[in-house]
Amino acid sequence: MPTETRTTCPYCGVGCGVIARVEDDGKVSVKGDPDHPANFGRLCSKGSALAETLDLEGRVLAPQIHGQEAGWDAALDLVAQRFRETIAAHGPDSVAFYVSGQLLTEDYYVANKLMKGFIGSANIDTNSRLCMASSVAGHKRAFGSDTVPGCYEDLELADLVVLTGSNTAWCHPVLYQRLAAAKASRPTMKVVVIDPRRTATCDIADLHLPIRADGDVALFNGLFHHLVDTRRVDEAFVGAHTSGFSEALMAAARLGMAELSEATGLSGMALRQFFRLFAETEKVVTCYSQGVNQSAVGTDKVNAIINCHLATGRIGRPGMGPFSLTGQPNAMGGREVGGLANMLAAHMELGSAAHRDTVQRFWNAPVIADKPGLKAVDMFEAVAEGRIKAIWIMSTNPVVSMPDADGVKAALTACPFVVVSDIQAYTDTARLAHVLLPATGWSEKSGTVTNSERRISRQRPFLPVPGEARPDWWQMAEVGKRMGFAEGFDFASPAEIFAEHAALSAYENDGIRDFDIGAYAEIDGTDYDALIPFQWPQPAGEPSRKRFFADGRFYHPDGKARFVPITPPAPAARDAAFPFTLNTGRVRDHWHTMTRTAKSARLSAHIAEPFCEIHPLDARALGIADADLVTVASPSGHAVIVRALLTERQARGAIFVPMHWTGETAAAARVDTLVPGRVDPVSGQPALKMAAASVARHAPA
């Protein structure tokens, strides 16, 4: 008999429900789950091609030590032994875990528990640092906690949706479909897209603002002044529920229209049109994604946006609020269990002695990390400098995706002990592993993920586990036990881990933490299997959905939100030899470093090779014709060779190169080798969206 399994798409943060059907002959097909509240049956091109990515070609099917197949016992014993010896010789901060927003919440929970509560270091960070760390930091500064105030329905209820730094049509396609459908049914609804490029998202835009890279702070500071000047400030809300208004207004330098145009690259007419639309529309949602987060001033951009929503009181009500779109399927789940170097589980704070004590007692842990660990960029620098001597990388490919990607490759090559858990044997990172552990893939995994609107959904297995693959949580629990921590890691199933995680979220809840799924602390395997998607918080005995901040109470000790003073960044110094601003990003039909989407001929047919978008006038000045090969180089001496794509979607002086392609699929096309390891000083998120570059027609030797 054919089987149908309800699960969740493993790609973007929209978190669409999927029904996977397996026929008697093993053939798999997928369709959107009509009952899932994220997508109501819709799927995008990537989601609908999931069945084409499930073959076993390239899979790691058995543990490997130095490239030779080995049994699980030998591999796990070696990992435990090398971690134990390294810690004994050099201390707990000499080891690290680098994990992933692809992991399930249960995987993340065990990794975080092992590193922070038993090894005693906070050196666990995630590729989600590359995705939403600036939003986390901005939320904490403004609200006193990492709380996403909105939900997808707000986009449909709004009269104005501002999409900034987000090619929603390609990167969160089903959310874009929902927005486009809402706009089509309600013509008075307006959409503004703020993006240096004229992307596919602009197809539904009433106004496109082709902003200069990192001009967002100046734009939203200018909007803040405009709201004050036109008396659009909600003085009652500001007075009762916020603090810091005057200081923030003073810091948001008042620029004349000419100066603002210079800082943002936008015409006075476009600026006035945007300001008027925002000021005069009550129901406004401002969505932002990597164009905001992946910046050296990412957290300031987030707070400049939130300042405008606080000033107008447009938060905590239907159809309004700032809304961060997470990139990965479980970036949010990682935040819930503290899978970042500067957080504890259940949104508790590493810096709080009371929170550390709560978590340590709950875990009955021998130690608890008492200071932040190394964030992603710093972690790989520490590997390069020999301070990290053993690292375990799970479900991610930093040799392609990190800034200064060649530096990361060199660091891992020299590292004394590298463990990689993955499904694919051929990733650029897996090739550098001393121990390679076969992980279970999407169709074989069981656990939960949380999407951008805080909705927790199940991923359920529907295919048998191939070879000797094992779940990531099992691998870490086994290593934990072999390191001598028998009691904390005796999990028999993901349901047990989820129940422990839920119990911790309710344990001695001091009213500060907003994360609460305590109602699920007693969940058994049967109920876990049947879990339907729900949004946190969901405290015991309160099944109804809560709208955050509807009561005007925030999570700072005085219950008030904070305006954050944001001064505009100084213009970046330009090197005449590298006159272009390189913007990196995604294409519609590929995901991350293509380890899965490249398996689908249909997806690869959309855009078959890496490219460099460049304005035709810039190209003409450089003697570049459409489809020529060009060399894109950075001041660091790195270069990639890609095909020129001449388009007026691109602004003069700026270029775009996608980040998916690796050294294996196109000659030297790892674009993140060009991006320096510059980070936002508040969030530690790397500035992957902007680098100086030169472009020249490629002259083969």
**CA 47, CA 11: separation in Å to the nearest integer?**
8
**Per-residue contact flags (x/-) with ligand SF4 for residues 47 to 86, judged by CB under 6 A:** x---------------------------------------
**CA 12, CA 168: separation in Å to the nearest integer?**
11
Residue spans of alpha helices (H) in 70-143: 72-90, 105-112, 133-143
**131 neighbors 586 (Cβ within 8 angstroms):** no
Amino acid at 144: G
What are the φ and ψ backbone dihedral angles of 472, each rounded to 5 degrees? -60, -40
**Per-residue contact flags (x/-) with ligand SF4 for residues 21 to 40, judged by CB under 6 A:** ------------------x-
Q: How far is the CB of 520 from ligand SF4 (least distance, A)?
A: 23
Nearer to ligand SF4, 14 or 248 (CB): 14
**641 neighbors 668 (Cβ within 8 angstroms):** yes
Q: Is position 169 an interface residue for ligand SF4 (rule: CB under 6 A)?
A: no
Nearer to ligand SF4, 264 or 324 (CB): 324
Residue spans of alpha helices (H) in 312-352: 331-336
Q: Is position 101 an interface residue for ligand SF4 (rule: CB under 6 A)?
A: no
List all residues 6 or more positions away from 193 whose beta carbon is below 8 Å from its beta carbon: 163, 164, 199, 201, 202, 205, 207, 208, 209
**CA 96, CA 129: separation in Å to the nearest integer?**
15
Q: How far is CA 286 from the centre of its chain?
A: 18
What are the φ and ψ backbone dihedral angles of 106, each rounded to 5 degrees? -65, -40
Options 5, 7, 12, 107; binder of ligand SF4; rule CB under 6 A: 12
Nearer to ligand SF4, 197 or 592 (CB): 592
Q: How far is the CB of 290 from ligand SF4 (least distance, A)?
A: 14
Nearer to ligand SF4, 152 or 515 (CB): 152
Applying the rule CB under 6 A, the residues between 184 and 223 that interact with ligand SF4 are none
Q: How far is the CB of 334 from ligand SF4 (least distance, A)?
A: 16
Nearer to ligand SF4, 121 or 177 (CB): 177
Amino acid at 253: A
**605 neighbors 587 (Cβ within 8 angstroms):** no
Query: How many C-beta atoms surround the C-beta of residue 617 within 10 A?
Result: 12
**CA 407, CA 428: separation in Å to the nearest integer?**
13
Of 104-112, 172-180, 346-354, 539-547, the segment contacting ligand SF4 by CB under 6 A is 172-180
Amino acid at 325: L
Q: Is position 46 an interface residue for ligand SF4 (rule: CB under 6 A)?
A: yes
**CA 316, CA 18: separation in Å to the nearest integer?**
30
**396 neighbors 365 (Cβ within 8 angstroms):** no
Q: How far is the CB of 335 from ligand SF4 (least distance, A)?
A: 18
Q: How far is the CB of 601 from ligand SF4 (least distance, A)?
A: 18
What are the φ and ψ backbone dihedral angles of 160, each rounded to 5 degrees? -140, 125
Nearer to ligand SF4, 7 or 429 (CB): 7
- The residues facing 419 across adjacent strands are 392, 435
Nearer to ligand SF4, 7 or 86 (CB): 7
Of 41-49, 118-126, 300-308, 644-652, the segment contacting ligand SF4 by CB under 6 A is 41-49
Total residues contacting ligand SF4 by CB under 6 A comes to 14
Q: Is position 173 an interface residue for ligand SF4 (rule: CB under 6 A)?
A: yes
Nearer to ligand SF4, 117 or 173 (CB): 173
31 SS3 class: strand
Nearer to ligand SF4, 172 or 226 (CB): 172
Nearer to ligand SF4, 12 or 418 (CB): 12
Q: Is position 9 an interface residue for ligand SF4 (rule: CB under 6 A)?
A: yes
What are the φ and ψ backbone dihedral angles of 327, each rounded to 5 degrees? -75, -45
Q: Is position 20 an interface residue for ligand SF4 (rule: CB under 6 A)?
A: no
Q: How far is the CB of 320 from ligand SF4 (least distance, A)?
A: 23
**CA 614, CA 653: separation in Å to the nearest integer?**
8
Nearer to ligand SF4, 40 or 72 (CB): 40
Nearer to ligand SF4, 53 or 86 (CB): 53
- The residues facing 456 across adjacent strands are 450, 534
Q: How far is the CB of 103 from ligand SF4 (least distance, A)?
A: 16
Closest CA to 270 of 322, 224, 213, 223: 223
Q: Is position 113 an interface residue for ligand SF4 (rule: CB under 6 A)?
A: no
Of 11-19, 453-461, 464-472, 662-670, the segment contacting ligand SF4 by CB under 6 A is 11-19
Query: How many C-beta atoms surround the C-beta of residue 677 within 10 A?
Result: 20
**389 neighbors 417 (Cβ within 8 angstroms):** yes
Helix (H) or strand (E) holding 561: strand 561-562
Closest CA to 672 of 685, 661, 683, 684: 661
Nearer to ligand SF4, 11 or 549 (CB): 11
Residue with tokens 């008999």: 1
Q: How far is the CB of 148 from ligand SF4 (least distance, A)?
A: 17
Q: Is position 43 an interface residue for ligand SF4 (rule: CB under 6 A)?
A: yes
List all residues 6 or more positions away from 526 whose beta carbon is below 8 Å from its beta carbon: none
Options 5, 6, 7, 14; binder of ligand SF4; rule CB under 6 A: 14
Options 7, 11, 114, 583; binder of ligand SF4; rule CB under 6 A: 11
Of 44-52, 134-142, 268-276, 403-411, the segment contacting ligand SF4 by CB under 6 A is 44-52
Options 174, 337, 598, 688; binder of ligand SF4; rule CB under 6 A: 174
Q: How far is the CB of 401 from ligand SF4 (least distance, A)?
A: 17
Q: Which residue is nearest to ligand SF4 (CB)?
A: 47
Q: What angle do CA 263, 267, 272 make, to 5 degrees?
A: 100
Nearer to ligand SF4, 14 or 211 (CB): 14
List all residues 6 or more positions away from 264 whose beta carbon is below 8 Å from its beta carbon: 209, 211, 212, 215, 218, 219, 222, 271
Options 15, 322, 333, 398; binder of ligand SF4; rule CB under 6 A: 15
Q: How far is the CB of 161 from ligand SF4 (least distance, A)?
A: 17
Q: How far is the CB of 329 from ligand SF4 (least distance, A)?
A: 7
Q: How far is the CB of 399 from ligand SF4 (least distance, A)?
A: 24
Q: Which residues bind ligand SF4 (CB under 6 A)?
A: 9, 11-12, 14-16, 39, 43-44, 46-47, 172-174
